[in-house]
Structure formats: C-alpha cells, structure tokens
Structure 1
Amino acid sequence: MTRFVFDYGMFSVSAKYLSKQNGSNNYYYTRRIPAGVVRALKAQSGFKGPAKIKEVISTRTADRQKALKEASRINRYLEAQWAAIEAGEPTIEVIKSSEELFKTYHNQPFDLGDFIEERLSGEAKKELFDIALAGGNREREDDILEQNLDDVTWQALQRSRGIDLWSLSAIQQEYLELKGWANNRKQRNSVDGAFATFISALGDISTSDVSRLDVHRLVKNLIEEQGLKTATVKRKLSVIRAAINYVGQLREIELHNPFKNVEIPNLLEDAKDREDFTKEQQEMIRTRLTTTNEPNEIDNLIGLLMDTGMRVAEVVGLQADDIVLDAEVPHIRLHRNSMRRLKTKSSKRLVPLVGAALSSALRVKGNSDTFVFPRYVDEDSGTLKNDTASASVNKRLKVWLGEGAPTCHSFRHTMATRLRNVGCPKDVRDELGGWAKSISDNYGSPTDLRLKREYLQNSIDTVRR
C-alpha cells in the first residue's frame, strides 16, 4: 500500500535528534536504532557480535534551520527503512536468488509447484491436503508454506503469484552493485540521495505499488511544499528512472516504472543564471594570486580555473604530462585518464595557457610526476575529490571577496562572457569550453592554438583596462 508522508512543516520530531559533534560546526542527526530493528538485522545477517545501535549522520550544514529540514528528511528515510526491516522484507540476496529460482522453473514440465512439493514434510503435505478438502483457505495454506520453506523458495512462490519482490531500496542496492559504484562516493551519493527522497515519502515499497498519479502528486509536493528546484527534482527522477530500467534490463525482469515521462510543472523557470565575477573581483583575485609569497594548491587551482574555463573535475584530474610547456604555445592537453571521465566526447580539447593559468601550470608541473593535485585524487577508489576541491576554493574566494562571492563554478561562466566580449567566434568559444559538437579543420594546429591564445589573452587585457 502506498504511503505518503507530506507533513514537512513540523520538525519537532527530528529536532530532538539534532546535535553537534566535537571538531565540527555542522549539526548531526543522532538517533538510537530501535531495538526491534537491531534484532531483525542481526537475525537476517546471522551476526552474533555487538551490533550498531546508533545512527550518526551529518546534515552538512551549520545553519540550524537548514539542519532541521535535513534532519527531518533523514528521519523519514530511516523510519521507512526500519519499518521494512521489522516487517521482514527480503534482503537483496534473497530477492536475487528468488528471481533465479523462479526463472529456472517457470513454464517448465517440472515447475515451481513440483519443486516446492518435494521440499515439504509429509505432515505439511497432509495439512495442505486437508485444507484443500475443506474448500481451501489461502491464509492457512500460506502459514504452513512459510513455516516449511526457506526464504528464497517462499519469495519465489510470491513471485510466481505476480508479486513484485523488488522494493525501491533493493533496486537502489542492485543498481549501485551492477554499475560498480559501491565505492564511488560521488555516484553513490547521487543515487542514495535520489532514492532517499522517494522512499521517505512513499515508503520502501515495490515500483508496482507506485502509480503515476502518486509520482505526480509527490513531484508537486517536492516543489511547492519542500521548495526543491525543478532541476533538482528532474535530476532525482532521472536517477530513479535509470536505476529501474538498468536493473530490469540486466536482470531480464519486467519492472513497472512510474517515474518515466513525468511532467514537472514550470521546469527550469526557477533556475537562476550563475553569477559572473565582476571586473573588480577578477582584479582582486589576480592581485591576491600575484602577491602571495608561496602559492599553494588552492591558489594554483584558482589560477587554472580562472584563465582556462575548465571544469573543477578537469583541473583536479590533471597529470603532469597533460601540461605541455615546451611548445610554441604552452597548453593543456585535456583527455580522459584512469581517474577522470570527461563529461562529453567534445570535452577532449587543447587549452592554451595564459595569465594566472600559465603561472599555476608552471608551478604544478614542476612539483609532480603524476597527478598535479594529489590531495584531491583518491587512487585507491579511482575517484576525484571534486566536492572537496570546490569547497576549498569557495572558502578561499569568500575570504578574498566576502560572503557574497560567486563560487568556483562561476569561473567557467565568466570565461564564456569574457570571450564573447572580445569578439571570439562561437565555434572557437565552444572548442575552448568543450561544448563543440564538431571541430574546425585546423583544430590543434599551431595556428589554431595561437588564435585561441590571442582571444584568451585579449579577454584578460580587456577586463584589466
């Protein structure tokens, strides 16, 4: 049965679970796990040692009002999960094994009914026979079957009756596993965040129990009551939709997907254009970069972001060999590597080095034989710490420019504006920014690099006039 939890205005329940932790300004959601849930978890896993008894989750904000809203969301999500655990919902491993068992005996001469009958004791068979003679009683029959069958066989029986075993959380876990994202923090956070939004409102139910009308109502609530941006809702829907499709396709099962083609009211009309850095702010940043006695990693990041228009992930994933300084036009050779997946095929490009970017490139090139920003590279998990790098740069920008400073992502938008202001043609701008769908005939030639360097340098000189 679909469950909606739409009372998002009251935070009294989650407020008592809000606390501060030593060494952090952020608020944390802290709550003991109900004893019944702890017992159920231990029973499901067979673990005999001490179990986790408390959830401690950062709200990632020091603002109390924002923390209350986030704590309320966390509370709803956890309670939905705990309710499913106490209700004895099958684990992901049981679900997968049940699906395999069902497919093995589906439409076979020796079918699932025969398989089940072989596993019943003589006493159980007699009880079932007596119930059938008395006219049948599904509830009593199921009590006997559930007591005599293992979890996998019992769930396979439910599957044969047309019951969807795949809850939202089961799809979530399987999607992360099939994609290989279990240890990819960025991808996992995106998937977990999307599923948490819908599980907290709908409950941890199967997609078959969710109607398109349910999703429509929830989308309106997320926008009108919770205040989520339409782009955020669209992104969460796309994650859920992709997960259901992917798991269904690879598992070769039919999964109802009510999250497809969902209409989002006034989509993107609430979006705000990213703010450019003003001329005064750009000049202030250049002054800071040139007067710093010993530029550090963050300063070098800022220099490269400011005068290349590259994305944060593209900069932090740079290797020393990507920086070409001995050419007629020093440049960055941006391409995919083991740690950095480029956003699109057109993101592969050559970017001339000028201004602060050239100064930063000279420093980082000489300090490393591999990745030039090793602090933001986790080679063990094969991921980049983009969010950490962004947070570090944004903190520095606030110190230099004040609380109202644009974020590091605005460097890219500002670069596009700078190039337009000096008459740089759109096709050249698109190539420099990695937006080009096709490239010019002389792409990558010395003439091409000289031309692009000239536009980039003019964009600096024009701002400084």
Structure 2
Amino acid sequence: MPEYIHIPHCFLKDGIFYFQRRVPTELIRHYTSSKISYSLRTRSARVAAARAIRAASQLDEYWYHLRSQDADLPGKHMRRLGVADPRQRASDGGSVNIDCISLSEAVVTYLRLKGSGKGITFRRAAERACGYVIDTCGDKPLSSYTKADANAFRDALIARGMAGSSITRVFGTVRSIINFAANEEGIELTNPFGKVYYDRYAGVSDRQPIPVEAIRAVQAECYRLDDDMRWLVALVADTGMRLAEAAGLLCEDIVHDNEGNYIARITPHPWRRLKTAGSMREVPLVGSARWAAERLMAVHGGSGFAFPRYNKTDTTNANAASAGLNKWLKAYVPAGATMHSFRHSMRDRLRAVECPADIVDQIGGWQTNGIGHGYGKGYAAQITIKWMEKAIFL
C-alpha cells in the first residue's frame, strides 16, 4: 500500500504532494470555493505529512474563530475576538469591564496559560467543546450564560448522537475553561454548565476484557505471522500498555538487564505524550511481550522507532494503529473487544493471582488513591516482574 495513503488531507499528482480540504458548509460564504487545494511543493511523504498536519491545524483554529464571529450577537461588529488580557482591552483608553470577556476569549486565556507543553489534542478538545457552545448559544460574556443555555447545549449534544461519556467529557472541558478564565479575570459567577442532568450511560457500552483463551489464540497468530503489526499486538497483549504508549516507543526505551529481563520504560516523547503523570513507569516484558521485544531488537538493532509504521510524522499515529489492529483482531476475540480490552484483561489477570492493588496500579500506570502512594519511588523491577510472570503464566 502506498505510504501517502496514510497522510491526512493529501493527494499525489505527478509525484508531487498536494493539500486538499473541504470548507465546512456553514463557512463557505467566506470563501470563493468550497475546497482548499494547493501544492505542498515536495515529493517526500514525511515532509508532506508534517506540512499537511500543520496546515490542517491552522485551518481548524481559523475556522473556530470564524464560527465565533458568526454568532448573532448585538454589537458583534464592535467585538475584538481573541483579546483575553484586560490590559489590552484597556489600551483603547476606556475602563476595563471584567464582565466583557467572552467564551472565545476564555478559550484563548485557557490555552495560553494551561496549553503550554500540551499536545494538539488538548487544544482541539478545548476549541471543539467551546465551539459547540458557541454554535448553540452564541459567543456571550461568561456571566451572561444561563442554565437555559446549558440545557440547550445538552440537548444539542444529544441531538448530535453523542454517547453519555462523550457529553461528560465535553461538559467537563467547558466547565474547566469557564472556571479557569473567570478565576484569572476575577469574575465571580456560578457556572451554569455544572450539575446539568443527562443520562451518562446512554449509548455507552462497557469494554469487556478478553478471555485468556482468546489471548492465547491471538498470540499464536502473532507468532505465526511474525510482522511489525503482530509485534505490537503481542507487546500490548501481555503488558496491558495503552496502544499509543507502545506504538510510540523507541528501541532505546526497551532495556535488557544483566539477569536477562526485558523492561519497557514508558516516558513522554515529543511525538507521543502520556495520558497522566502516573503513566510514566517501567513495565516488565514477559510472555508474548518479551518475544516482541526480542524481535524488535533483532530487526532494528536497538535504535530508532520500535514501530516506524506509526511514526512517519511528528506525532505517533495511534489512530491508524487502532483502526488497523482492531480490524485484524475481530476474528479472534469476542464481539466488541478491541486492543484496549487487553488493558482490562491485564488488570483481571493480575487480580487472579492476588497481586496487591498498588502493584497493579504501578504496572498499568493507573492512579492509586491515597496520599501515601505518592511518596517514594515505587516497587523495584524484581517485584513487578515476579507478579507479571505469575499473571502471564497462570
């Protein structure tokens, strides 16, 4: 399969990569064409991917602001979208009215102060969530939003077909942005987007763990096919790593100690950040994960990306990994199970050997409750290896 197929918003013509993206229907009036298309001036897939991702990100940000400007508000022509610093608003010679900060300005404040060092996903989630609010209720001053607006917003999300878990995430993002910006600007308000009722379980299906027998069948196929995609499956199957954590590994992250043990060091990288601070850890590689590590070392010589297929741009493409591997996995696991189900299975497998909960949390990078668990360096590798071997070879 040609590698350019994996590049978003790109097509190839006469060996040159072109960027192409359709303009959203509600914004077409701002353009002379319904499609944006131009040459990326490169024959390199890697360079084209980086340029296309950067262009798409710039367009998403610009379209977010266009949607904000299109909100039907009195005095819209007098607004200065994106000015989130009170000193800037006072520079016109007038007094500062703290109630005038709008939701779009709150997003700018939030991203400016909290977005530093965060990935593009963090920015997109903030802009998308508040973009939904602006589409439904308009871009109002924060103190002008009402409970009726919040209820209308909830109804709009339900009408979009969002599951309860997705609505919870969107509401959580909106609440965080409003609370943070209000605190920064010195605005006292009761956030109307809190305590909004909806069915949090609507459309949500529980992720079921994969039975051990099915895991064994999957591993047998991985050994038989013996390619990079199956190495990734094997690595996740007997570690419970998040797929993005495994796909973004360097060969240098896989270490081999004097006692013959393999350990994967899960650390943040510029191309793949971690979900939480507690996700940084050392994971013992036993069973199929050890086999995968040995195959990676043999093929790559201990340096570079462990899975170059999913690291062709400046960001690990975990979505591509998920789509491809889940499609293959369907034939071997119960209906509804995915690559993430291995993570649920690992927790159950460790429970089955009566592994202490805080050791389970350390292995999986899960949050452990209690202040005391934040002290010290955690359990030594010999201890986590012992419990992983009990769970894997049960």
Query: What TM-score do the two structures reach when normalised by structure 1?
Result: 0.61
The structure number with the bigger radius of gyration is 1
Please show how residues 157-306 of structure 1 align to structure 2 within 5 Å. 157=94, 160=96, 162=97, 164-180=99-115, 184-219=119-154, 222-223=157-158, 225-250=159-184, 252-254=185-187, 256=189, 258-259=191-192, 261-268=194-201, 271-292=204-225, 294-296=226-228, 298-306=229-237
Find the aligned partners of 2:264 and 2:118 in 1 and give their Cα distance: 30
Q: Give the counterpart letter for 2:251 in structure 1.
A: A
Q: How far did residue 414 of structure 1 move?
A: 1.3
**Structure 1 unaligned regions, length at least 5:** 1-20, 39-50, 57-74, 105-152, 460-465
Counterpart in 1 of 2:244? 313
Give runs of aligned pairs for residues 14-413 of structure 1, distance below 5 A.
31=25, 33=27, 35=29, 38=30, 53-54=33-34, 81-83=69-71, 87-88=76-77, 90-92=79-81, 95-96=83-84, 99-103=86-90, 153=92, 157=94, 160=96, 162=97, 164-180=99-115, 184-219=119-154, 222-223=157-158, 225-250=159-184, 252-254=185-187, 256=189, 258-259=191-192, 261-268=194-201, 271-292=204-225, 294-296=226-228, 298-328=229-259, 329-366=261-298, 367=300, 369-377=303-311, 380=314, 383-398=315-330, 400-401=331-332, 404-413=335-344
1:201 Cα deviation from its structure 2 partner: 1.2
Letter matched to residue 421 of structure 1: A
In 2, Cα distance between equivalents of 1:360 and 1:450: 17
Superposed displacement of residue 229, structure 1: 2.8
CA contact (8 A) 2:248 2:316 kept: yes
Cα distance in structure 2, aligned partners of 1:392 and 1:222: 29
In 2, Cα distance between equivalents of 1:439 and 1:242? 25
TM-aligned CA deviation for residue 413 of structure 1 = 0.5
The superposition leaves residues 8-50 of structure 1 with CA deviations (integer Å, 9 ceiling, x where unpaired) of: xxxxxxxxxxxxx999xxx978538454xx3xxxxxxxxxxxx
TM-superposed deviation, 1:236: 0.9
Query: 2:374 and 2:121 mapped to 1: Cα distance?
Result: 31
For structure 2, list consecutive stretches of 5 or more residues without a partner in the other structure.
1-9, 13-20, 37-62
State the 1:166 CA deviation: 3.0
Find the aligned partners of 1:379 and 1:226 in 2 and give their Cα distance.
Answer: 32
* CA distance in structure 2 between the partners assigned to 1:458 and 1:209 by the alignment: 60
Cα separation, 1, equivalents of 2:123 and 2:230:
30
Q: 2:349 aligns with which of 418, 423, 439?
A: 418
Aligned partners of 1:354 and 1:456 also within 8 Å: no
**Alignment check: 8 A CA contact 1:244 1:257 kept:** no
Q: State how far apart, in whole Å, the 1-side matches of 2:282 and 2:307 are.
A: 19
Instruction: Tell me by how many angstroms 1:432 deviates.
Output: 1.7
How far off its partner does 1:83 sit?
4.4
CA contact under 8 A between 2:350 and 2:360: conserved in structure 1?
yes
- State whether residues 80 and 204 of structure 1, in contact with CA within 8 Å, keep that contact through their aligned partners in structure 2: yes
Label 1:421 to 1:395 Cα distance change in 2 as closer, same or farther (>3 A). same
- Secondary structure, aligned partner of 1:351: strand
Q: CA deviation at 1:84?
A: 5.3
Deviations 1:308-328 (A, max 9, x none): 011123212322232122342
TM-superposed deviation, 1:421: 2.7
The 4+ residue runs of structure 1 with deviation greater than 6 A are 75-80, 439-442
User: What secondary structure does 2:77 align onto?
Assistant: coil
Aligned partner of residue 88 in structure 1, secondary structure:
helix
Q: How far 1:283 sits from its partner (Å)?
A: 3.1
CA contact (8 A) 1:92 1:173 kept: no
Structure 1 residue 439: deviation in Å?
8.1
Residue type matched to 1:92 in 2? Answer: L
Identical aligned residues as a percent: 28
Question: Could you tell me how far apart the structure 2 residues matched to 1:164 and 1:428 are?
Answer: 49
Deviation at 1:200?
A: 1.9
Equivalent-residue separation in structure 1 for 2:134 and 2:148 (angstroms):
16
Alpha-carbon spacing, 1:242–1:79, altered in 2? closer, same or farther (3 Å): closer
Give the whole-Å Cα distance in 2 for the aligned partners of 1:372 and 1:284: 24
**Which residue in the other structure is 2:57 paired with?**
none
Secondary structure of the corresponding residue to residue 411 of structure 1: helix
Task: Say whether the 8 Å CA contact 2:150–2:196 is kept in structure 1.
Answer: no
Q: 1:91 to 1:364 in 2, by over 3 A?
A: farther
Contact 1:92/1:174, CA 8 A, preserved across alignment? no
The answer for the alignment partner of 2:50 in structure 1 is none
Amino acid at match of 2:206: D
Instruction: Give the counterpart letter for 1:90 in structure 2.
Output: R
Q: 1:450 to 1:204 in 2, by over 3 A?
A: closer
SS at match of 1:234: helix
Distance 1:245 1:442 in 2: 34
**Cα distance in 1, alignment partners of residues 130 and 203 from structure 2:** 23
* Distance 1:253-1:82 versus aligned 2 partners, 3 A rule: same
Take 1:174 and 1:182, find their aligned partners in 2: how far apart are those partners? Answer: 15
Q: Which amino acid aligns with 1:82?
A: D
Local SS of the residue matching 2:274:
coil
Alignment CA distance shift 1:92-1:327 (3 Å): farther
Q: What is the CA-CA distance between 1:289 and the residue it aligns to?
A: 0.4
Q: Is the 8 A contact 1:318 1:372 kept in 2?
A: yes
Q: CA 1:255/1:299 → structure 2, altered by over 3 Å: closer, same or farther?
A: farther
CA distance in 1, matches of 2:117, 2:165: 25
**Is the 8 Å Cα contact of residues 284 and 381 (structure 2) preserved in structure 1?**
no
Which residue of the partner structure matches residue 111 of structure 1?
A: none
TM-score, normalised via structure 2 length: 0.71
- Three-state SS of the structure 1 residue aligned to 2:25 is strand
SS at match of 2:265: strand
